[in-house]
């Protein structure tokens, strides 16, 4: 039975998609069976993994609208062990549909049930919002990874995010665990980077991953080539960090 893990932060550009794609690919490389659910109308994870999202049929939208079973939306990627369930711009406006359902926040959860037994981990790449899409993601997830970009406002949105996590936990009577907080786009040699890291460390203590993802030009180039950075340039600092993150992730699993 898969553990379902949301990659969530309502702040745009915090490294959610980059983390979802590269952690998924790194874990698949280590022999885990992974499904990555693109639950963002931007469809960035879908493009990142090389799918032509414009002409695409059988996406998350069709799954939510009950036109197809989620298994019929699964794409096998060129990376062994990694499957993708794509989205594109047609997912925009899904909020109204979700709100009109009998259990608005549980729609995604009910759909993921049909693939849960096929994978070790199901990752959900969430869009930068805290609306009904995010509450669906949190309801479906067993745990959440929060990527934080080291900038002066990094912690500002955290309070809201943690509150929503708590509200959902209360409503469902089952807490979504914080699997880990991940510092991304980190500039080690700047005063700002050091200060933000120290602050995040103080705030999250145990939850913070020791692995930090550096600000790395190769990481920003890779999506343009439709390849995970750990495939595009396995030896760059960003790739080493994402591989290290996969190791730390698996080590945490063992200790749980």
Ligand X SMILES: Nc1ncnc2c1ncn2[C@@H]1O[C@H](COP(=O)(O)OP(=O)(O)OP(=O)(O)O)[C@@H](O)[C@H]1O
CB of 132 to Mg ion, least distance (A): 18
**Smallest gap, in angstroms, from Cβ of residue 9 to ligand X?**
6
Provide the angle, in degrees to the nearest 10, between the axes of the packed helices 237-255 and 16-29.
Answer: 70
- Residues 173-192 vs ligand X: string with x where CB under 6 A? -----------xx-------
| Contact residues for 70 (Cβ-Cβ < 8 A; gap 6+) | 63, 85, 111, 112, 114, 115
For position 15 contacting ligand X by CB under 6 A, the verdict is yes
Distance CA 32, CA 220 (A): 26
CA distance 86 to 194: 37
In the bound complex, what is the minimum distance in angstroms from residue 16's beta carbon to Mg ion?
Answer: 5
Tell me if 43 contacts ligand X by CB under 6 A.
no
| Euclidean distance between CA atoms 183 and 197, whole angstroms | 7
Q: Look at residues 244, 222, 223 and name the one whose alpha carbon lies nearest to residue 233.
A: 222
Binding mask 28-47 toward Mg ion (x if CB under 5 A, else -) reads ----------------x---
> What's the rounded Cα separation, in Å, for the pair 118 and 29?
17
Q: Count residues contacting ligand X (CB under 6 A)?
A: 21
For residue 154, give the 3-state DSSP assignment. coil
Residue choice 24, 25, 135, 216 for contact with ligand X (CB under 6 A): 216
**From residue 42 to residue 81, what is the string marking binding to Mg ion with x (rule CB under 5 A)?**
--x-------------------------------------
Site string for ligand X, 116-135 (x = CB under 6 A): -----------xx-------
Bridge partner list, 6: 124, 144
**Nearer residue to Mg ion within complex by CB, 44 or 239:** 44
Q: Which of residues 1-30 bind Mg ion (CB under 5 A)?
A: 16-17
Angle at 78 between CA 72 and CA 84, to 5 degrees: 35
Phi, psi angle pair for 7, to nearest 5°? -105, 110
Q: Is 148 helix (H, G, I), strand (E, B) or coil?
A: strand
Q: Smaller CB distance to ligand X: residue 88 or 216?
A: 216
Q: Is 66 exposed, middle or buried (0-12, 13-18, 19+ CB in 10 A)?
A: exposed
Cβ 149 to ligand X shortest distance, Å: 8
CB closer to ligand X out of 28 and 212: 212
From the list 6-14, 59-67, 199-207, 244-252, the region that binds ligand X by CB under 6 A is: 6-14
| Site membership for ligand X, residue 150 (CB under 6 A) | no
3-class SS of residue 144 = strand
Residues at the site binding ligand X, with contacts judged by CB under 6 A: 12-18, 40, 42, 44, 127-128, 184-185, 213, 215-216, 219-220, 223, 238
């Amino acid at each position: 039975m898969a553990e379902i893990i949301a990659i969530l932060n309502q702040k745009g550009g915090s490294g959610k998609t980059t983390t979802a794609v590269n952690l998924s690919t790194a874990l698949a490389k280590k022999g885990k069976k992974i499904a990555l659910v693109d639950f963002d109308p931007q469809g960035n994870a879908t493009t990142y993994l090389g799918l032509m999202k414009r002409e695409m049929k059988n996406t998350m939208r069709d799954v939510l609208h009950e036109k197809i079973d989620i298994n019929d939306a699964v794409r096998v990627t060129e990376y062994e062990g990694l499957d993708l369930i794509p989205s594109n711009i047609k997912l925009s406006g899904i909020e109204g549909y979700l709100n009109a359902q009998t259990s608005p926040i549980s729609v995604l959860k009910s759909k993921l049930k049909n693939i849960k037994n096929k994978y070790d981990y199901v990752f959900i790449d969430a869009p930068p919002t805290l609306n009904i899409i995010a509450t669906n993601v949190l309801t479906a997830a067993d745990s959440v990874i929060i990527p934080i970009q080291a900038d002066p406002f990094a912690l500002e949105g955290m309070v809201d995010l943690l509150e929503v996590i708590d509200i959902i936990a209360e409503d469902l009577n089952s807490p979504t665990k914080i699997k880990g907080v991940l510092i991304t786009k980190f500039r080690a040699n700047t005063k700002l980077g050091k200060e933000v890291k120290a602050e995040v460390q103080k705030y999250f203590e145990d939850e913070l991953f020791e692995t930090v993802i550096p600000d790395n030009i190769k990481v920003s180039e890779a999506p343009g080539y439709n390849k995970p950075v750990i495939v595009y340039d396995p030896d760059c600092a960003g790739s080493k960090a994402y591989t290290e993150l996969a190791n730390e992730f698996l080590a945490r699993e063992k200790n749980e």
